[in-house]
Structure 1
Amino acid sequence: MDLRTGIRQRIHQASMALVGLVMLPTAALAQGLGVASVGATGGLTIPSAYVLEQGDMALSLGNYQDPKLGSFNRRQNYSLGFGLLPGVELFGRFTEYTSRQAASPGAPNFRGISDISANIKWQLPIDLQGVPKLAVGVTDISGGAAFFKSKYAVASDEVGPLRWSLGYAQSNPPLGGTVGAKVLDGVFGGAELKLGSSRATLLAETDGTQQHAGLRYYSESLPSLGDAQLVGTLQRSFGATTLAGHFANATSVNVSLVVPLGTADKARQTRTDAAARPLPALDQAVAGAMVATAQDRLDGLARALRATGLDRVRVGMLGNELVVEYENYRYLHNEADALGIVLGLAAEAAPTGTTRINALTRKAGLEVLETSVDVAAYRSFLRDGDAARVKNTLGFGLLPGYDDTAVQWAAGEAGAGRRQTRLRVEVKPLLNYTLGTEFDAFDYSLAANVRSTASLWKGAQVYADVVQRIANSSNIDPGRVFASSRQRNGLKTLALQQSFWLAPRLFASVGAGKFDHDGLGAEGESILFLPWNADTVHFKGSYLRRPDDALSRTTEAYAGSYRLRFSPETWIEAGYEQYTDRSTGPSVVLTRWFGDAAVQLFARKGGNNTFVGLELNLPLTPRQGMGAGPVQLTGTPRYAQSIRTRLTNGGNTGNFVDNGAVRSVNLNYKPEVEMLNSGRIAPADITGQIQRLRESFYLYARDQID
């Protein structure tokens, strides 16, 4: 019996063993998804027909490499995936199969494959009993160098403790050639078996050219990591060969972290009900309210709101309606958190006979949002979590426009609205990087940006950015190949910013001062909120002049766009731009919100260059930060990091590092982030987070009520 026959027999025996194990009385498999080395949810190396849940993010790293691609001393796979739309997952993959050696400073140091690729999978919307899940996908979508390009169709299903997949793929040789290693080509399939009542599974599969077996473990949800799930895999290849036909079996590992970026309303309600200290029954609360005077109640409400860390708190009565003004720089993930605190405390402390609450949200003294609600409905909602009635009583406005003098403000501190915070200090990281170049796998320059902001008059703020470099790779040292990406220390920005409403639905913000260390200029943005829907029109631009250069240089960039809001979670923004390199062309951005995180896919064309990429936006600050005080230290409410690549074509064949090409105008002061809750102030944005309002009250304000 030759070696190949022996291998086939062992595979057959392993398959029969799997079938036998299926007959054991074990629990169903559905406990999570693993990430295959190909950069998609699936088995060890093959994709399955399952996809990430909408709003899930998967980070994965491993060291599997197909031996047909060569022999290298560095074998790394990194992938980042998102459940972008229902039934659609998108993965970005960075592969480093190289043998890098010590090289002279600034000299290329490369042999092998260093590749950035994008993979997409669509699960067909077929949900019929007895019909497996079906999906189609593409790996290594690229207009340039493609080492892993493949198209596939796959079916998957679960039978008791067994999950199986069977598919067919068609691959192209690397770099568009006619010969060479093909990855994921031909018929592929595999099975995953749950081992008894444990959280471990046994996997066996073929990718069309070789076989694999492995052991995988799915952790419980980890509350300390935002209910993320850790998935670890150990695998071994069988029958693997090099292009020369030599056997090259190997053992490899893979670790994935699957993180839900958002939280479902039902989950928020369940957690709040389970952990919250109950409020007094409504009849008891009414009886107690008759003891205190209206002024006592207003005083107590103002003290409670200040105790939660809100600023410029002022309360008063407008007829039989309660009015609360406040500024929030503590709960920076989402204005819904601060609003939930205000509405909850106001509903519980409202004087007897109060019918509605009007909460006015201010930024830099400027009104940006008004929310009103029926008192009785909201008090019931706080107790039972039933949002149906309270949703029907909610009212909204983009610009209040009420008569401030008509409000009977409370006497003393409760009606003063004094500012507690004089200086806000925000700390955020700055990162410049290159990925997968001829010089190294990853070069970077990391710095801290410290912004100090002081409010002056209504809508006016002065701010300064100071940058301190923390670390960088050697290729970014002065005189090296990527020295232009080195972060620069010192005062980067000193500017005065004025924001205002030109009309009830037209917001504008302009700034002037010192920008980019040694330039003088101005920048601004205006946003028109359309009266017939939640769509918006945006105009922004910047002008920068560097007078100290031997030849004075100016940088002018502008953009105009229309934002189409399909829902509070899904936006498409299309427009026309002049980029910072003076090229012009169209741009389109798809934004998907998952809780407080946003994923953006973009395409921008400037002249003969087209760049596509992905940007991840996250709040880098605690959900409840430092409260109002003379000096308030915060993180950033919106940190954005992107990755992009140039689309190559016949007239533009090189995908070179060019940090300055086709860059959109990047405002130093971002009015939407600083003033308008990152653009999420439409009525549907608040109504869609009704359970979050209740949750934030119980998390951060319940203890203010006796």
Structure 2
Amino acid sequence: MHRPCPPPHALHAGTLVCLALLCLAPAARAEEAAASAPHPFALSPLMGSSGLSGATLTPSAQITDWGRMELRYDRQIPGLAPNRFGGTDGHNIILGFGLLPNLEVSGRLASNNMHGNCYTEGCGIRDLSANFKVGIPLDAAGRYHLAAGATDLGGQATNFRSYFGVLSYIDNRWLASLGVAQRQSSRNRQGASPLHGPFAHLAYQPLSWARAGIEYTDGDAWANAHLLAPAQWLPQDWRAHVGVSTRLNRNDTTDQAWWNIGLSIPLYRVPSIDAGAKAQTAALTTTPTVRATSPIATPSASVENIVSTQAAPSPAPQPFPEAPRHSFQRLPLLGVVPFPGHSSVSALPPDDTVDTPGRDIVTRLNAHEQAYRQAAIPALAPAQAQQTASSFIPQPTLPLTLEQAQQLAAALETQGLEDISIGHTPQGKLLVSINNATYAWNAVDAIGASLAALAQTLGTVPRDYQLVLHQRQLPIAGVAGRTDCLEQWLQNTTPSCNAGQLFSAGSAALAQWFDGAQWLVEQQAASWKTTRLTLNPLLQSRVATEYGVLDYSLGVQLGIEQPLWSGAWIDIRQNIPLDESDDFQNGSAFGSARIQNELDRAILVQTARLPLEQWMPSLAQPAMQPWGLTNVTGQVALGRVDADYTGTVGELRWEPGEGQHRISVLGGYLRKEDDTPRIGRQMTFDRYAQPALLGYRYNHASTRTYLELEGGQFMNADRGVRAELKQWFGDVAISFYMQQTSPETSLPSRRFAGMNVSLPLGPRKSMMPGRHIQVQSVPRWAHSIQTLVGNSSNDILSGYGARPDTPRLDSHFNSDRASLLYYEDNIYRIRQVAQQLRRSQ
């Protein structure tokens, strides 16, 4: 069809925008000349209105940076068919993630209005969909990229689905993309994807704060411009922009012009461990260093058998891919290398100091490798090793006095640790046992705090030590080394011996470290003397339904925990409603799912490690240690669960070796006290709940990715399976899952797809325990959004795939991050926490 020539005013706005930015080229050259680096900035990916990074309507082959969350809002719904509710005028909301090094995913919500009831007054379009893009660089320089993906996946309606492939060229200030797309026809003809046929776009960034571009798709053209917020206006590594787009020819795909805003947040950033730390230590992730890692200990290995050398400094955490595990020699904890010939290898840690935003994966890998080779200490030659080993004579360990033990216990208590026992082994080594209830975000912080106290009090005297960290009296981590070398490591000087070696409960029998121990201080700051209080936000939500874009019920859960004996505590939770939207009020569409003022939980919990080596002595043999059978843990919860049930839930957990695998078994018998269905919480098909679940988790450590599979009978007698991909960014976890279950009744099988966001709330270090009360941070707060898939209708269903609301064993194991693989990957954090706490005192 012949398109008429656009009138002059249709070209005016976009032309002026582009010409204005192009005229800034002289200023751009001046800015570049003034900068010390040849390229003062790079084109970082911007999220587009389609839910994929690129231009406004067309995607590029760039991938959203790994570990970033992208938010974008457009006051326009491109491609929407004319209707009486405004046509393309509406709200377009994008939430996206750089989930993996070569994968970005996003969710898109498009709605003509925010509050209209589609049943009573009409609402136009209200569409919730998913998008994805995978891409790879094609050359070592990272200038050419190839990507493919799709828009508008899932949901009952298909309004904006397209499949595409795109090739991009990136050269500092320029981004050019060329691709082809195939649009799928809309089922209800409410709209159509603008992405169809050949498409192209060109972007130019003359200044660090300004970018302009033009794009073409489906026979139409647009121009856009963005103003980028200066870095000093935002928190570290955040990005923000405001933009405007205008069409360059007459078409019905969009209005003449519209505006948008965007925000990019790094999920891997970790705040300071101590609010009182000095300003220069406020960011935990800024030290330009490279991490060392720890070999798995074997019964024949000891810390005295390690050759000393200079400590490799620690890196800042970025979610960039690690180098291949065969690339570099593996280093043990705290910067010492083993004898030549050690066969273990380790991946290169992520390091944000060698990254430039927007660079491709190959460039990042090359930069990481260069940084590692510059900072890491090479393996000693055999002759050097022999000379060094012969000159290294372990210094005698001095007896630990009662005064020294009391000083160390006081320092550990000052750091917020509890159940402190100080003594020595039959061989004379210093032995430290502590329990963590203060560092709620991550047990790695508790390791750093304990090493800081140890080095501060005993770091001037050579003394072998063994330290075991407990969580709810369960041993989850161990460190063994020498105190004087630990102090040297924390001071960033050259250790003269092994400063420490990491162990996990799966790689060593930590409980056996206490055999024959002679205690000088025992159970100081006992945890049972302190009652724990938590305030946990509660949220029930419905997104993009016929009743509204967002309906919610908001509340708070007051939690009281009273530790009892070892591994036991009483857990009481009271739900308190705060606010709710109209559709969550009593008698409304979602009223039965609203948060109510009720007792949600009142249980007695007992957790314990199963002493299989005592029941079966053959398991204690060295040949059995790699199986990690000393790391089998059990838990029983008895009482009121999830406001409606009373009964018992039991769980077993096994995480052998380095922690690459984890197996769990959960079962229970619960009786429902009320026969009334509670839509949105537990829609019971039987008065008795008998969950029986088997779970498996695989840890892909190089990208911090968990693959989880769980199956069996769930709470409401529905049987099926749930598969989940969980990606960790620091202490934030983003999960995507698929589940399918079939009730025992005549109801059909249902399949759901969803996303879960899990993050800690409150300060990294909770209030100090004392005066019998401790207000704790929330270790994990999670919220999920799911939708029915593979069905002709998209009904709002709940109660499928439900699990009993009792504490999970994974939560006691640092939110399933208590493996040797995880500890090795966070050695930088251990040292930086210790250094921060030392400087803040």
Normalized against structure 1, the TM-score is what?
Answer: 0.87
Contact 1:297 1:351 in 2 (8 A): no
Higher mean C-alpha deviation, range 419-428 or range 447-456: 419-428
- 1:625-650 alpha-carbon deviations (Å, 9 max, x no partner): 211121111221011111111112xx
The answer to whether the 8 Å contact 2:11/2:247 transfers is: no
1:592 equivalent to 2:727? Answer: yes
Q: How does 1:534-553 map to 2 (within 5 A)?
A: 534-547=660-673, 549=675, 553=687
Report the counterpart of residue 231 of structure 1 in structure 2. Answer: 241
User: Which digits, 9 at most, give the CA deviation of each residue in 1:50-70, with x for residues without a partner?
Assistant: 112221221222222226433
User: Given the alignment, which residue of 49, 60, 65 partners 1:53?
Assistant: 65
Corresponding residue number in structure 1 for 2:784: 642
What is the match of residue 174 of structure 1?
186
Q: Alpha carbons of 1:219 and 1:359: their partners in 2 closer, same or farther (altered >3 Å)?
A: farther
Query: 1:151-190 residue pairs with structure 2 within 5 A?
Result: 151-175=163-187, 181-190=192-201
Which of 287, 297, 308 aligns to 2:415? It is 308
Distance in 1 (alpha carbons) for counterparts of 2:674 and 2:80: 56
2:679 equivalent in structure 1: none
Decide whether the 8 Å contact of 2:560 with 2:572 is kept in 1.
Answer: yes
Equivalent residue number for residue 699 of structure 2: 565
The 3 A distance-change label for structure 1 pair 389 and 467 is: farther
Q: 2:837 aligns with which of 692, 700, 703?
A: 700
Shift of residue 575, structure 1, vs aligned partner: 3.2
Query: Alpha carbon RMSD of aligned pairs, Å?
Result: 3.5
Q: Which runs of 5+ in 1 are unaligned?
A: 275-289
Tell me, in whole angstroms, the C-alpha distance in 1 between the residues paired with 2:590 and 2:80.
Answer: 33
Distance 1:653 1:82 in 2: 29
In the alignment, structure 1 residue 329 sits paired with structure 2 residue 437: yes
Which amino acid in structure 1 is aligned with residue 687 of structure 2? Answer: R
8 Å CA contact 1:336–1:686 kept in 2: the answer is yes
Higher mean C-alpha displacement, 624-633 vs 360-369: 360-369
> Do the aligned partners of 1:269 and 1:385 also contact (CA within 8 Å) in 2?
no
Separation in 1 of the partners of 2:192 and 2:639? 56
Choose 384-393 or 291-300, whichever is displaced more: 384-393
Residue type of the partner of 1:577? G
2:75/2:258 contact within 8 Å kept: no
Q: Which of 326-335 and 367-376 deviates more?
A: 367-376
State the Cα distance separating 1:227 from its structure 2 match: 3.4
SS at match of 1:436: strand
Helix, strand or coil: the match of 2:419? strand
Tell me the residue number matched to 1:463.
571
2:718 pairs with one of 563, 568, 583: 583
Separation in structure 2 between the aligned mates of residue 606 and residue 209 of structure 1, nearest angstrom? 45
- 461, 464, 486: which is aligned to 1:378? 486
Match of 1:516 in 2: 642
Cα distance in 2 for residues equivalent to 1:129 and 1:703: 43
1:115 matched to which residue of 2?
Answer: 127
Distance in 2, Cα, partners of 1:682 & 1:468:
36
1:385/1:493 Cα in 2 relative to 1: closer, same or farther (>3 Å)?
farther
- SS of corresponding position for 2:405: helix
Contact kept? 2:528, 2:564, Cα under 8 Å: no
Q: Does 1:681 align with 2:821?
A: no
One-letter code aligned to 2:81: L
SS in 2 for 1:677: coil
Given residue 96 of structure 1, which amino acid in structure 2 is its aligned partner? S
1:147-167: CA deviations, max 9, x gaps? Answer: 110111122223342222222
CA contact (8 A) 1:211 1:240 kept: no
Q: Does 1:617 align with 2:758?
A: yes
Residue of structure 2 in register with 1:277 after alignment: none
Contact 1:322 1:350 in 2 (8 A): no
Q: Which secondary structure does the structure 1 equivalent of 2:6 belong to?
A: helix
Counterpart of 1:567, as a letter, is A
Equivalent-residue separation in structure 2 for 1:698 and 1:93 (angstroms) = 43
Deviation at 1:101, TM superposition (A): 4.7
Q: Say whether the 8 Å CA contact 2:705–2:727 is kept in structure 1.
A: yes
Q: Which has the higher strand share?
A: 1
Q: 1:367 corresponds to which residue?
A: 475
CA contact (8 A) 1:542 1:558 kept: yes
Give the 3 Å change call, closer, same or farther, for CA 356–54 of structure 1 in structure 2.
Answer: farther
Choose from 65, 76, 84 the match for 1:64.
76
Query: Structure 2 unaligned runs (5+)?
Result: 33-38, 272-282, 291-312, 315-396, 613-629, 677-684, 743-748
C-alpha separation between the residues in 2 aligned to 1:342 and 1:237?
A: 61
Cα distance 1:95–1:548, how it changes in 2: closer, same or farther (>3 A)? closer
Structure 1 residue 334: Cα displacement: 0.6
TM-score calculated relative to the size of structure 2:
0.74
Q: Equivalents in 1 of 2:69, 2:832: separation in Å?
A: 24
**Pairing partner for 1:343 from 448, 451, 465:** 451
Supply the distance in 1 between the matched residues of 2:582 and 2:16 (Cα, whole angstroms). Answer: 53
Question: 1:525 Cα deviation (Å)?
Answer: 1.7
SS in 2 for 1:69: coil
State the 1:173 CA deviation: 2.3
Higher mean alpha-carbon deviation, 689-698 vs 377-386, is at 377-386
Match of 1:485 among 580, 593, 602: 593
Distance (Å, rounded) in 1 between the aligned partners of 2:4 and 2:95: 42
Report the more deviating stretch, 512-521 or 292-301: 292-301
Correspondence 1:260-275 to 2 at 5 A: 260-262=267-269, 267-270=285-288
Would you say the 8 A contact 1:546–1:553 is kept in 2? Answer: yes
Partner of 2:351: none
Residue of structure 1 equivalent to 2:93 = 78
Q: Residue by residue, what CA displacement relative to the aligned partner does 1:284-315 show, whole Å, maximum 9, x if unpaired?
A: xxxxxx99984433222221111122222222
Other structure's SS at 1:230 match:
strand
* 1: CA distance, partners of 2:438 / 2:489: 25
1:321 deviates by: 2.1
Instruction: Give the conservation status (yes or no) of the 8 Å contact 1:199–1:219.
Output: yes
Further displaced range: 682-691 or 390-399: 390-399
Whole-Å Cα distance in 2 between the matches of residues 456 and 609 of structure 1? 42
SS in 2 for 1:402: helix
Q: Deviations over 1:227-260 (max 9, x none)?
A: 32222223333335338xxx94132222223324
> Which letter maps to 2:6?
R
Which whole-Å CA distance do the structure 2 matches of 1:403 and 1:99 have between them? Answer: 61
- 2:205 corresponds, among 178, 194, 198, to 194
Q: 1:495-548 deviations in whole A, cap 9, x for unaligned?
A: 100101123221111101012324212212211223586311111134331245
How many residues align? The count is 676
> Which of 510, 523, 528 does residue 400 from structure 1 map onto?
510
Structure 1 segment 654-673 matched on structure 2, within 5 A: 654-660=793-799, 662-673=800-811
The answer on whether the counterparts of 2:435 and 2:470 sit within 8 Å (CA) in structure 1 is: yes
Does the Cα contact within 8 Å between 1:316 and 1:324 map onto a contact in 2?
yes
The residue number in structure 2 matching 1:252 is 259
Correspondence 1:92 to 2:107: yes
CA contact (8 A) 1:373 1:394 kept: no
Aligned twin of 1:453 = 561
1:180: how far off?
A: 5.7
Residue deviations 1:72-100 (CA, integer Å, cap 9, x gap): 35711222211111111111112212486
Q: Does the CA contact (< 8 Å) of 1:423 and 1:632 recur in 2?
A: yes
Partner of 2:738: 603
Write the distance in 2 (CA, Å) between the matches of 1:166 and 1:387: 55
Distance between the aligned counterparts of 2:651 and 2:241, measured in 1? 44
Q: Which moved more, 1:290-299 or 1:338-347?
A: 290-299
Instruction: Check whether the contact 2:606–2:635 (CA below 8 A) recurs between aligned residues.
Output: yes
Could you tell me which amino acid in structure 2 is paired with residue 181 of structure 1?
A
Task: Give 3-state SS (helix, strand or coil) of 1:167's partner.
Answer: strand
Aligned to 1:349, the other structure's residue is in SS state helix
Name the SS of the counterpart of 2:491 in structure 1. Answer: helix
Change (3 A) 1:552 1:213: closer
C-alpha distance in 2, partners of 1:654/1:385?
65
- The answer as to whether partners of 1:227 and 1:260 remain within 8 angstroms in 2 is no
